[in-house]
Amino acid sequence: MKILLTIAYDGTNYFGWQIQKGQITVQEEIERGLKALFGKAIEVRGASRTDSKVHALGQRATFSVETTIPMKGLPHALNNHLPKDIRIMRAEQVSANFHPQYSAKSKTYCYKIYNAPIINPIYNNYAWHVKPSLDISAMKSGALALVGEHNFLSFCATGSSAKTFVRNIYSIEIEKSNTGNGNGNENGHQLIEISVTGNGFLYNMVRIIAGTLAYVGYGKISATAMPKILAAQDRTKSGITAPPQGLTLMQVNYGFEYSHKT
Amino acid sequence: MKILLTIAYDGTNYFGWQIQKGQITVQEEIERGLKALFGKAIEVRGASRTDSKVHALGQRATFSVETTIPMKGLPHALNNHLPKDIRIMRAEQVSANFHPQYSAKSKTYCYKIYNAPIINPIYNNYAWHVKPSLDISAMKSGALALVGEHNFLSFCATGSSAKTFVRNIYSIEIEKSNTGNGNGNENGHQLIEISVTGNGFLYNMVRIIAGTLAYVGYGKISATAMPKILAAQDRTKSGITAPPQGLTLMQVNYGFEYSHKT
């Protein structure tokens, strides 16, 4: 039987999802856990190859095994064999032809920016620290130009082997939360969260979008320049690649309802 | 001149605030930074002796030095000599008779509970994972009994050398934020934040309050039993001491306005 896992992890101490020689990766830890649980080597296939230091709340991965463990109990059973910074949140049976990546209808990533002169250090591993004050309405206006079906070559890391650079971004939502600690301390929490949903993403695409929108936020790039940057199909026209620790894979949507509720 | 610092830190990798032989502490790191900056040994005095793994957003500490560095520039200058998980947020000059602990009118601590069957691992070091579903309104009702001036011996770690166990709690606020990730994943964020403001706190007092309110939240202690628990003046009548990583020192209030705005 084929099983689909929903996985959350703190990516701080991992060299990303994908197994790589000489590096500790999330996929490797899960395969190690499955081997401990089922007593044999089992390969998992992930929905997204998150990079080093990138986090996930809703990563998905499949594997095949014959087992009598009920799906409801599988997360707990597997979590017992995993490090604390990787948690299986859910398990459910899927059909044999289900593919965690190709069956996905959309994915949602969230990019966090900590916008203040000095960062609250508990965000060091979970946000990008941007010191200049960001103009959220300019960022929202710039983001609007990216929504829809476009060639995103300008927002793809150079050297990508993608067959096509056309992707469809369904939405970009930008929210700012500002809850100072009352100490007259404006550095309480000034978190900007950029949520991007699309049918697929090129390599580093969300991080380049976040980096470019930060440039828009402090006026280095004009919001009105975004259509031209897209049209240029040239990576050098967009902004920097925002650092990995701000990124979280929030959700992979397969367009079906869960059969199991925990 | 006497200088008051506002300090934020991620307490994960520290053995608390107070200098202790053979352990790495926040106070030690700040004194090390001051020595690097000013070229001589300088002692700092903190407002609160936070425990191992406890965080701070608004810790305060004083030290004395003669310097021409403007207060506005001091945080940046000192941060250059500190580890990334300790940040000076602000510096201001205070009068010679100011004492970071005794001059405090009130302090606010926040205790975070992650309430879900499985924790989102990015909260491992920043919240207490409580699996049974907590009844927030019962917790609020139980908390109400603690507000006001009481003898808090039942909420103080045994062996305390405090001269009096009478403290005044001005407020306890309990908020729940629930922002699932939409993956049908009820484990998105189910964070309960207990904010306690008082004129002073006994050893482990906030953690025992949080542990006791969690007991109230899942029915192990009745909210109506709280006055009796207080009146007993007996540590064995209250709940467990909640673990340290959920606690953050949010604010120390001295009842004066800041002279410096950053």
Give the residue numbers in A contacting B (CB under 8 Å), as ranges: 6, 8-10, 55, 57-58, 75, 79, 84-90, 108, 117-122, 124, 126, 181-188, 250-253, 257-258, 261-262
Choose the mutation target among A80, A118, A173 for the interface with B, i.e. most B CBs under 10 Å: A118
Give the residue among A119, A115, A109, A170 at the shortest CA–CA distance from A139: A115
A197 DSSP β-pair partners = A108, A171
In this prediction, residue B175 carries a pLDDT of 95
Q: Which two tokens stand for residue B169?
A: 């709690």
pLDDT surpasses 70 at B188: no
The pLDDT tens digits for A145-165 are 999 999 999 999 988 888 999
Chain B neighbors of A253, CB-CB under 8 A:
183
Nearest-CB residue to B75 (from A118, A253, A257):
A118
pLDDT surpasses 60 at B187: no
The pLDDT tens digits for A68-126 are 999 999 999 999 999 999 999 999 999 999 999 999 999 999 999 999 999 999 999 99
In three-state form (DSSP H/G/I as H, E/B as E, the rest C), the secondary structure along chain A is CEEEEEEEECHHHCCCCCCCCCCCCHHHHHHHHHHHHHCCCCCCEECCCCCCCCEEEEEEEEEECCCCCCCCCHHHHHHCCCCCCEEEEEEEEECCCCCCCCCCCEEEEEEEEEECCCCCHHHCCCCEEECCCCCHHHHHHHHHCCCEEEECHHHCCCCCCCCCCEEEEEEEEEEEEECCCCCCCCCCCEEEEEEEEECCCCCCHHHHHHHHHHHHHCCCCCHHHHHHHHHHCCHHHCCCCCCHHHEEEEEEECCCCCCCCC
pLDDT surpasses 50 at A260: no
**Helix (H, G, I), strand (E, B), or coil: what is residue B162?**
coil
Query: In angstroms, what CA-CA distances link B119 with A52, A57, A249?
Result: 21, 10, 16
Q: What percent of chain B has pLDDT over 90?
A: 90
In this prediction, residue A259 carries a pLDDT of 43
Q: Which two tokens stand for residue A195?
A: 């949520």
- Tell me, what's the ipTM? 0.89
Smallest CA–CA distance, residue A233 to chain B, in Å, is: 32
In this prediction, residue B240 carries a pLDDT of 97
The pLDDT tens digits for B165-183 are 999 999 999 999 876 554 4
The pLDDT tens digits for B78-123 are 999 999 999 999 999 999 999 999 999 999 999 999 999 999 999 9
In this prediction, residue A262 carries a pLDDT of 35
Q: What is the mean pLDDT of chain B?
A: 93
The pLDDT tens digits for A17-49 are 999 999 999 999 999 999 999 999 999 999 999
Query: Dihedral (C-alpha) B141, B247, A14, A63: value to the nearest 10 degrees?
Result: -20
In this prediction, residue A188 carries a pLDDT of 53
Query: Which of the two residues, B188 and A24, has the higher pLDDT score?
Result: A24
Nearest-CB residue to A58 (from B55, B79, B181):
B181
pLDDT surpasses 80 at A220: yes
**Helix (H, G, I), strand (E, B), or coil: what is residue B129?**
strand
Q: pTM for the whole thing? A: 0.92
Give the residue numbers in B contacting A (CB under 8 Å), as ranges: 6, 8-10, 55, 57-58, 75, 79, 84-90, 108, 117-122, 124, 126, 181-188, 250-253, 257-258, 262
> From the candidates B10, B51, B135, B234, which is the catalytic residue?
B51
* Residues recorded for chain B: 262
How many of the other CB atoms lie within 10 Å of CB of B146?
23
The pLDDT tens digits for A225-257 are 999 999 999 999 999 999 999 999 999 999 875
**What is the mean pLDDT of the segment spanning B201-221?**
97
**What is the mean pLDDT of the segment spanning B184-207?**
86
| C-alpha span between A105 and A258 (Å, rounded) | 15
| C-alpha span between A36 and A78 (Å, rounded) | 9
The pLDDT tens digits for B39-60 are 999 999 999 999 999 999 999 9
Q: Using pLDDT thresholds of 50, 70 and 90, give the confidence band for residue B189.
A: low
Chain A neighbors of B183, CB-CB under 8 A:
6, 57-58, 250-253
A87 DSSP β-pair partners = A8
Residue type, B172: I
pLDDT surpasses 50 at A184: no
Nearest-CB residue to A89 (from B84, B124, B187):
B187
In this prediction, residue B262 carries a pLDDT of 36
Query: In angstroms, what CA-CA distances link A97 with A18, A90, A247, B102?
Result: 22, 20, 30, 68
Compute φ and ψ for B190, nearest 5 degrees: -130, 80
Residue A209 contacts by C-beta under 8 Å, 6 or more apart in sequence?
A111, A143, A146, A155, A172, A194, A196
In this prediction, residue A256 carries a pLDDT of 72
| C-alpha span between B226 and B22 (Å, rounded) | 40
B51 is catalytic: yes
In this prediction, residue B259 carries a pLDDT of 43
pLDDT surpasses 60 at A186: no
pLDDT surpasses 60 at A143: yes
Relative orientation angle of helices A205-217 and A136-144, to the nearest 10 degrees: 130
| C-alpha span between B147 and A217 (Å, rounded) | 44
In this prediction, residue B182 carries a pLDDT of 45
Residue type, B24: I
In three-state form (DSSP H/G/I as H, E/B as E, the rest C), the secondary structure along A114-157 is EECCCCCHHHCCCCEEECCCCCHHHHHHHHHCCCEEEECHHHCC
* Residues recorded for chain A: 262
Q: Using pLDDT thresholds of 50, 70 and 90, give the confidence band for residue B161.
A: confident
pLDDT surpasses 60 at B137: yes
